[in-house]
Amino acid sequence: MDYRHEWKHEINLSDMLTIRQRLRAVAQIDKHTVNGAYNIRSLYFDNLSDKALREKLDGVDRREKFRLRYYNGDTSLIHLEKKSKLGGLGTKESAVLTKENAQAILDGDYTWMAHKEDPLINELYFKMTTQQLRPKTIVDYTREPYIFAAGNVRITLDYNIRTGLLCTDFLNPECVTIPAGDAPIILEVKWDSYLPDIIRDAIQLGSRHPCAFSKYAACRIYG
């Protein structure tokens, strides 16, 4: 697996407006957006002892979490993703699921996963059977993504973070979500071997420092 550098910063609306203006001058808006942004819905997995949540809160150096995800309400393309962290580095593995696949998981039918040839689906099946991983909560938010070719840099501004509490009705567009407490706006920067100075300058905010914010943890605030 190829790990990438990751920085996260908690910022406010004024910070976001400033950074947005700078990024639009030097970086490209991701072509997959609609009017410069897209809406993301994720469904995170955890076990009965909240292993993923506790490892995040305890700052465990090597950790992972699984999630399902789709964009802009389009359930015709659903991704199974595994996010792995090692110190300040991160990597992501992904597999495509059908709507029927995802609904089967929500219905508690995951035996079909054992017969798939995709290794990520097989891994989730193994951990659902051995670690009792189960769908835990929905996380909704809006993302503004920017890309910069040199260094393979991706910068995102994430806001309007909402939680489905303990609801796992992931495919239901009418599923009610509420603001995740006082969750801030999140500036996230990812790059390969180096971060170009032009991007480093564009995201510079003197009073802000890298943090370890987790949308999943923020959305578990109520349970």
pLDDT digits (tens, 9 = 90+) for 172-194: 988 889 999 899 999 999 999 99
pLDDT category at 121 given cuts 50, 70, 90 is very high
Alpha helices by DSSP H, listed for the chain, are 13-26, 51-57, 99-106, 119-130, 197-202, 215-219
pLDDT category at 211 given cuts 50, 70, 90 is confident
Q: Measure Cα distances from 27 to 13, 22, 144, 215 in Å.
A: 20, 8, 12, 25
pLDDT digits (tens, 9 = 90+) for 1-44: 689 999 999 999 999 999 999 999 999 999 889 999 999 999 99
- What's residue 205's pLDDT? 85
DSSP string, 138-197: EEEEEEEEEEETTTTEEEEEEEEEEE-TT---TT-TT---EE-TT--EEEEEEESS---H
- What's residue 75's pLDDT? 95
Residue from 151, 138, 142 nearest 195 by CA: 151
Contacts of residue 108, Cβ cutoff 8 Å, sequence gap at least 6? none
pLDDT category at 95 given cuts 50, 70, 90 is very high
Per-residue pLDDT, averaged over 118-141, amounts to: 96
**Is 120's pLDDT higher than 90?**
yes
**Is 221's pLDDT higher than 90?**
no
Rounded CA gap, 143 and 158, in Å? Answer: 4
pLDDT digits (tens, 9 = 90+) for 152-162: 999 999 999 99
Per-residue pLDDT, averaged over 118-123, amounts to: 97
Contacts of residue 31, Cβ cutoff 8 Å, sequence gap at least 6? none
pLDDT category at 90 given cuts 50, 70, 90 is very high
**Is 223's pLDDT higher than 90?**
no
- What's residue 1's pLDDT? 63
- What's residue 129's pLDDT? 96
Q: Percent of the chain beyond pLDDT 90?
A: 86
